[in-house]
Amino acid sequence: MALKPGERVLVVGCGPVGMVLTLALYQKGIPVTLLERADGPIDDQRAAAIQPSSLEMLADLGVVEEIHEKGLISPTFHYRDRMSGDLVAEFDFTQIADMTEFPYVIQYEQFKLVKTIIAEIGDTPDVEYRFSCEVTGLEQTADGVRLTFNNQDGEKEILTSSWVVGCDGFSSVIRQAADIEFVGFTYPEKFVKIGSDFDFQEAGIAYCIRNFFSDPDEWCNLFKVNGYGPPGIWRTVFPTRKDETDEECLSQEGIQGRLQKFFPKDGDYNIIYAGLYHVHQRVVETFHKGGVILAGDAAHVNNPIGGLGMNGGIHDAISLADKLVRVIGGEPEDLLDRYSRQRHKAQMDGVQATSIANKKLMEAKDPAVRNQQLDDVRRTAEDPQKARAYCLNAGLFTSLEKANAVT
């Protein structure tokens, strides 16, 4: 369906997925109004890993140069046995350098990606930002989708468009208002995220920038980002224990206890931030319903082990922009159903399956199962063909290829 005169695509959510979609539509001549509940771009520290397949897409949008300049390039990632301290496996993306210009992950926090894209769009009447606007509902009518929200002055306002895209995260108002089921489960434990400026590499440990530690009692992820400048921030992610409260977990004693158990050192760690969050594995039953379309965390969520969630959302945005532009140009709306089928498959066969497997590897408690899993990863890394396939899957090339084959 073509846009009516003066009409714009309405994108809800100013996170990385909403901004990638907005930039892609803008570059193809489609005007956008973007609504965000916050009073400006959010300084969100959650996602940071940009996988090789996503770097290719961002290069096509013209924003990868700044990501290179300001991010941390990580060609390798490690699996380690926290109990023994041994390096179990090293995977190296240079094994797929023959098929991508970007054989590495770049650690570049999502709030920086948002700011990079806003700067790339610049000042143009074709992209309108509406901050401090809280969506309260929508109605699909014969004239399009009526979006109701409270504007920056607290007044009720209504915008109508043929197309509304929900990029508004896990608690998506758009998804709920469109009555789209979010299928899956929530893990019983929470995850605790801790950022410190202690430099593990300077301490003489042979860690790379991205590390995954298997431990039946308390697994851990450790990775580095540039943060707000030198010396950067090392982030750790741990599961919470059943016997601790949120207050205990986030107390100074709780935070220092976790870090000192992980890597004992003289004196306390300097903590930049710490937070708790629930973790889910969920995918919507459909990404498209009438004039409503979903992308990013509004459509799917997963545990963070492997750095896949934001990348799946970037893939959504690029796929959707291509198809939505074609539909607006007069091609059949069935293209949006194809978008839904493709991205659903990419999630189920790629991001969901891989992130669930990653978590099982980290937390396995049965000694026989744990040893077998670690041995399987070790053997995979030692076999060039298997290691290459592993990197293609970790970089989301495999799921992207399978999804794009869906008609």
288 and 253 both lie in a single domain: no
Mean of the pLDDT values across residues 303-326? 97
- Is 236:220 a contact under the CB 8 Å cutoff? yes
The pLDDT score that the predictor gives to residue 202 is: 84
Q: What percent of the chain has pLDDT over 70?
A: 100
Count the domains in the chain: 2
Last residue of a domain, one of 277, 302, 322: 277
144 and 218 both lie in a single domain: no
104-162 pLDDT, tens digit each: 999 999 999 999 999 999 999 999 999 999 999 999 999 899 999 999 999 999 999 99
222 and 258 both lie in a single domain: yes
Residue matched to tokens 């990653």: 358
Whether the pLDDT of residue 44 is over 90: the answer is no
Confidence class for position 76, pLDDT limits 50, 70, 90: very high
Q: CB neighbours (10 Å) of residue 217?
A: 11
131 and 158 both lie in a single domain: yes
* b/e per residue 65-92 (b: at least 16 CB within 10 A): ebbeeebbebbbbbbbbbeeeebbbebb
Confidence class for position 203, pLDDT limits 50, 70, 90: confident
* 372 assigned to some structural domain: no
Q: Which two tokens stand for residue 73?
A: 């390039």
* 375 assigned to some structural domain: no
Which of 195-209, 274-288, 296-310 comes out lowest in average pLDDT? 195-209
287 and 157 both lie in a single domain: yes
The SS3 call for residue 183 is strand
The SS3 call for residue 219 is coil
Mean of the pLDDT values across residues 170-184? 97
CATH number at residue 201: 3.30.70
Confidence class for position 381, pLDDT limits 50, 70, 90: very high
Mean pLDDT of the chain: 96
Q: What number of H helices and E strands is found in the chain?
A: 13, 22
Last residue of a domain, one of 245, 277, 309: 277
167 and 250 both lie in a single domain: no
Mean of the pLDDT values across residues 165-191? 97
Strand partners, 395: none
The pLDDT score that the predictor gives to residue 250 is: 97
160 and 221 both lie in a single domain: no
Q: Which two tokens stand for residue 136?
A: 């309260």
**Separation between Cα atoms, residue 351 and residue 282, nearest integer Å:** 11
Mean of the pLDDT values across residues 320-335? 97
Closest CA to 319 of 292, 304, 303, 340: 340
Mean of the pLDDT values across residues 47-64? 98
Whether the pLDDT of residue 394 is over 80: the answer is yes
228 and 254 both lie in a single domain: yes
64 and 169 both lie in a single domain: yes
- Going by their DSSP bridges, the two strands 49-50 and 32-35 should be labelled as unpaired
The pLDDT score that the predictor gives to residue 43 is: 84
CATH number at residue 325: 3.50.50.60
The pLDDT score that the predictor gives to residue 206 is: 76
**Structural domain boundaries enclosing 248:** 191-277
The pLDDT score that the predictor gives to residue 151 is: 96
- Is 313:295 a contact under the CB 8 Å cutoff? yes
- Going by their DSSP bridges, the two strands 87-92 and 76-81 should be labelled as antiparallel
Whether the pLDDT of residue 55 is over 90: the answer is yes
The SS3 call for residue 26 is helix
Mean of the pLDDT values across residues 319-336? 97
* 92 assigned to some structural domain: no
218 and 360 both lie in a single domain: no
The pLDDT score that the predictor gives to residue 81 is: 96
63 and 127 both lie in a single domain: yes
Whether the pLDDT of residue 1 is over 80: the answer is no
Confidence class for position 80, pLDDT limits 50, 70, 90: very high
* 308 assigned to some structural domain: yes
Mean of the pLDDT values across residues 202-217? 90
Closest CA to 32 of 174, 158, 164, 177: 164
387 phi, psi to nearest 5 deg: -65, -40
* 149 assigned to some structural domain: yes
Whether the pLDDT of residue 308 is over 80: the answer is yes
Which runs of E-coded beta strand occur in 271-317?
271-277, 280-284, 288-289, 292-294, 300-301
Contacting residues for 81 by C-beta, under 8 A, at least 6 apart: 88, 213, 214, 215, 374
273 and 131 both lie in a single domain: no
* 361 assigned to some structural domain: yes
* 341 assigned to some structural domain: yes
* 325 assigned to some structural domain: yes
Whether the pLDDT of residue 5 is over 90: the answer is no
Last residue of a domain, one of 262, 277, 292: 277
The pLDDT score that the predictor gives to residue 9 is: 98
Sign of the C-alpha dihedral computed for residues 155, 161, 167 and 169 taken in this order: positive
